[in-house]
Amino acid sequence: MPQSARSLLLTLAIALIAITPALANGAHPLDGLTAEEIALVQKTLAAEGLLAEGSNLISVSLIEPDKKDVLAWTPGKALPRHARALLRSKGETVSLHVDLRSGEATGRETIDVGQPPVSLGEFVGVTAAVAEHAGFQEALGKRGVTDFGALFCAPRTIGNFGEAMERENRVLKVDCFDMSQNPDNAFASPIENLFAVVDLDAMDVVEVVDLGVVPVPPGTFRLAATSEAKPRKRKPVVINSPEGHNFTLDGSFVNWENWRFHLRFDHRDGLVLSQVSYRDGGEQRSVLYQGHLSELFVPYQDPTEGWYFRNYMDQGEYGLGVMSNPLVKGADCPAEAEYLSPVLAAPDGSAMVLDNAICIFERATGEPTWRHKDSTPTVDSRADVQLIARTIATVGNYDYAFDWVFDAKGRVTFRAGATGLDAVKGVPSQDLSSETIAADTAYGPLIAPGRAGINHDHFFSLRLDMDVDGTANRLVRDRLVAESQHPSGPRRSIWRTHREVAQTETEAQYRFSYETPALFRVESTGKKNSLGYATSYALVPGGNALPLVDESDPALQRALFATKHLWVTPYAKNERYAAGEQPNQSEPGEGLPAWVEAGRSINGEDLVLWYTMGFHHVPSAEDWPVYNMGWHEVAVRPYNFFGENPAMDLE
């Protein structure tokens, strides 16, 4: 029997509350919150009257101690430990700080910039509010939809297009899907041209917008292999470590070969890596103080009334941690991976455990790390093995996989993979011979009968707080410049590198192109390698894109970070999110564009790199009924950080 969205989401929420080991043990100042600490926050919230009827708990997260205190911390040393609870109460956004030692509320403020993310409780409530609304039911009846218990309704954030409603209210626009034909594929059957405007504070439908009847697209698109007449079978191909893992877990630290890093799971950020260091001889050398995703912007390219507002900040409006889900052993990750179950706060303030939401595993790539055949008969070759920490978050129709990858060459790679379902628009056309095909595919191609896949973008902002041999760093750009040679010589031109050191954050905003290549490096101002070079780590971009729309477009105005591939700022504790602390319904220009106006020095400072990784998605028939995983990545690699190849010690 088809499930309503209410039961679907309640099932998800209940499934998250499992009795399994948590990730953190509270032994390090950056460890994630424990179940006991979340219970203490819940008690404090109740005492403050913030869990009463009408209050909506959005999230509870760790307030990180000052960086200098973390760097000076030693085991056994007590540091203040605080959590932040974010709530919506009586039409206001409230931030409450709680001392996790005493349970006292140490700070309370009202936030009037933007809106907080959509909470799990609101996810559950919005379908009921819409499906039970008489006006919405009447509009559904015009489309032949009468089983209101088979609806799935999508709580869509609306951005900010200058309307009074967006400035004054906490609002969603909600469209629904008929799951009666596709009980295990919620987004397959859109009810097009119909949506409800919902005031989340009142959980009330304030307007039903009916733009005209479009028949619900027919067809059953199940995702289970048993739905195929002859499912393809393959012999098992597995990752196996017959002698055990090469990595160890030490509390929230992961140790692998020469690498050591701290792992935390956050409601909004998902995986957060901290204090990443590499053991070089007897010295543990710092590379990265912290790395995490900062924002994920997904604008759709359909200007019609039912679609123009679809420009999502998937991290800041929903949360990549809370939207993570259990990893499938043997498919999402190798069966023999180490699985971890982090703790977050449930909508009622209690602790819930995300069962198996993190996996850590080693992978032999089947390639050499390095190899060489010299004049002797011997071939020297070393197998390439990587360590990967992975989570997968489902935000609406998309599933995003996030990897942090370490290798023996001293490289750290961040990978983002996208799969799930394309967002489809219900249209009359069944194939390209339909009379309406031109209008139906104006903003994206037909990818299944009655379903157009709307063109869209994905822009990931990665925050990398670099500490290359300490916090005193500078950004170097080595430009590759063509240089003419003397006419009498054998060459007419060559290229050489021209070194530039960025002085302020205002100038350190870059767009990459093949026509103007450059090597970007974070260089230590206090340490040199054995050859006398200042030690550094270089940025290694992968394939990329920039927004194609005008910067004055309201959707892009909230996500101006995406207009540059690289921004560089000095470290500031409260600057964590490229589009600002609360991008939901935010004003234009929040986050990075506002911060860099200060023109702060970045020469010899504690530097943060903000790297934007983007791609344009033009859907195709192969994207349906599920979109194959596509990966996008960026890395940092040692550049004169060592005196020689760090993988020379491999057996």
Instruction: Write the pLDDT tens digit of every residue in 182-211.
Output: 888 899 999 999 999 999 999 999 999 999
Residue 20 has pLDDT above 50, yes or no: no
Active site residue 440: no
Of 14-18, 43-47, 271-275, 645-649, the poorest mean pLDDT is in 14-18
b/e map of 569-580 (b: 16 or more CB within 10 Å)?
Answer: bbbeeebbbbbb
Mean per-residue pLDDT over the chain, rounded: 93
Strand 151-156 to strand 105-111: parallel, antiparallel, or no bridges (unpaired)?
Answer: unpaired
Contact 212, 191 (CB under 8 A): no
Structure letter (DSSP) for residue 267 = T
- Determine the pLDDT at residue 123: 84
Residue 584 has pLDDT above 60, yes or no: yes
Average pLDDT over residues 67-77: 95
* First-last CA distance in the chain: 57
pLDDT band, residue 581 (cuts 50/70/90): very high
Q: Cα–Cα distance between 286 and 637 in angstroms, integer?
A: 13
Q: 297-335 pLDDT, tens per residue?
A: 999 999 999 999 999 999 999 999 999 999 999 999 999
How many C-beta atoms surround the C-beta of residue 112 within 10 A?
A: 8
- Determine the pLDDT at residue 226: 55
> Which of 314, 399, 469, 623 is flagged as catalytic?
314
Residue 616 has pLDDT above 70, yes or no: yes
Query: Per the omega criterion (within 30 degrees of 0), is the bond before 625 cis?
Result: yes
Residue 381 has pLDDT above 60, yes or no: yes
Q: Cα–Cα distance between 464 and 409 in angstroms, integer?
A: 19
Residue 9 has pLDDT above 60, yes or no: no
pLDDT band, residue 229 (cuts 50/70/90): low
Helices within 400-547 (DSSP H only): 437-440
The sign of the torsion formed by the CA atoms of 128, 61, 271, 160 equals positive
Stretch (H or E) spanning 70? helix 67-72
Average pLDDT over residues 165-191: 92
Sequence letter at residue 324: S
- Determine the pLDDT at residue 2: 37
Sequence letter at residue 172: L
Of 34-48, 127-141, 226-240, 470-484, the poorest mean pLDDT is in 226-240
- Between 168 and 343, the more confident residue is 343
pLDDT band, residue 1 (cuts 50/70/90): very low
b/e map of 448-482 (b: 16 or more CB within 10 Å)?
Answer: bebbbbbbbbbbbbbbbbbbbbebbbbbbbbeeee
Of 639, 604, 649, nearest to 531 by C-alpha is: 639
Contact 251, 25 (CB under 8 A): yes
Q: 285-298 pLDDT, tens per residue?
A: 999 999 999 999 99
Active site residue 31: no
> Which of 312, 339, 398, 611 is flagged as catalytic?
398
E strand map for 164-214: 171-178, 194-199, 204-210
Q: Cα–Cα distance between 170 and 88 in angstroms, integer?
A: 10
Sequence letter at residue 246: N
Q: Cα–Cα distance between 413 and 539 in angstroms, integer?
A: 10
Query: If 0-12 CB within 10 Å is exposed, 13-18 middle and 19+ buried, where does residue 183 land?
Result: middle
pLDDT band, residue 23 (cuts 50/70/90): very low
Q: 493-508 pLDDT, tens per residue?
A: 999 999 999 999 999 9
